[in-house]
Amino acid sequence: MVKVVAARIRLPLFSITQPEAFQVLVSLPIPQPATLVGALAYAYGVHTGKGIRAYHELLEFAERGELLAARARIADSPTSGAAVLIPSSVVLRRFRVADKAHETKKKGERRPIHVLYDHLASGDYASAKRVLEVTLTDAFYREYVMGHELLAVWAFKSDVIEEAFWYINRLGDTESLCTVVDVQVTEGDVSRAREVETCFPAPLTPGARLLNGNFTVVKANDERRALKTFVIPMRATIETRRGRRYRILRSSTVRILYEREVDVCNTPWGIIVVG
């Protein structure tokens, strides 16, 4: 038997870079296993006071097989049923005073922070404003995925500290704040199977066949930060709301036939393919 922890995580949004994309121009539609390990490591570090050491401990757990899996999917609403996620791109404009103010691109070039001070000292506020708003800022596209709640599930071979999961407050980049609204701990069992039906992201190994279901295939980092191909059970449609077209993501299930038997963890929230 294994310990299974499920947390309902309330958004408003998250942004998780695809490993092969530039910055977060394209976000993963669902938090990858490595992101869930990082989110839990922060919570565990805060709760125990271990700080960054908690992250290395969790990675060691994953390497030893103590942390079997960390997966997420869209959480169905208790009142309205099926929930959705909506990806949307925005242009972020940021002040980069902490790093760009002290950099120089050419030998002998004065740092922007010194140029700014000179303009302020001479009363040339128009030039100082231009340094702040042009030299010390940048802008880029970033995709955010907006929704209501996610269901994140972790499976362990050992006991866990249930209270630590309540400290999870971020999924992805700096702006991807979240709140844990419910945590449940139960037991599950691990078995082996070739044909699996799952609603959670599952590794797509060589020789595996997708039998049916709606899905998308992405590259993502697993619990050990190894880059793998995952199939994400998800149905994507284009819908028009108030005269605007949106890409809508809904949860789904997919049936996979693996070339060889794989370990699967049976949980009350669905089957998780381990590995």
Residue 205: count other Cβ atoms within 10 Å of its Cβ: 15
Asked if residue 159 and residue 119 are part of one domain, the reply reads: no
**Inter-residue contact 261 to 270 (CB < 8 Å):** no
Q: Which residue has the tokens 């295939």?
A: 217
Q: Tally the C-alpha atoms within 13 A of residue 156's C-alpha that lie toward its C-beta.
A: 17
Domain boundary among 107, 135, 163: 135
If one counts the domains in the chain, the total is 2
Residue 32 near residue 220 (C-beta atoms within 8 A): yes
Nearest C-alpha neighbor of 27 from the set 171, 223, 157: 171
237 lies in the same domain as 127:
no
Instruction: Examine the fold and report which residue of 73, 108, 135 is the final residue of a domain before the chain moves on.
Output: 135
Q: What is the pLDDT of residue 93?
A: 80
Residues 131 and 63 in one domain: no
The stretches in the chain having pLDDT less than 70 are 23-24, 77-82
Q: What's the pLDDT score for residue 26?
A: 85
- Exposed, middle or buried: residue 212 (CB in 10 Å: 0-12, 13-18, 19+)? exposed
91-104 burial code (b ≥16 CB/10 A, e <16)? eeeeeeeeebbeee
Same domain, yes or no: 124 and 168: no
Q: Are residues 131 and 244 in the same domain?
A: no
Same domain, 84 and 108: no
pLDDT by residue (tens digit) across 129-172? 998 888 888 877 889 999 999 999 999 998 888 999 999 999 98
- 170 neighbors 11 (Cβ within 8 angstroms): no
Domain identity same for 148 and 209: yes
pLDDT for 80: 52
State which residues form the domain around 232: 2-90+142-273
- Identify whether residues 193 and 254 lie together within a single domain: yes
CATH of the domain at 211: 3.30.70.3120
What is the rounded distance in angstroms from the CA atom of residue 73 to the CA atom of residue 150?
6
176 lies in the same domain as 251: yes
Is residue 5 within 8 Å of 160, Cβ to Cβ? yes
**How many other C-beta atoms are found inside a 10 Å radius of the C-beta of residue 179?**
13
Largest CA distance in the chain: 75
pLDDT at 263: 96
Residues 190, 108 share a domain? no
- Kindly state whether residues 171 and 118 are assigned to the same domain: no
Same domain, 36 and 169: yes
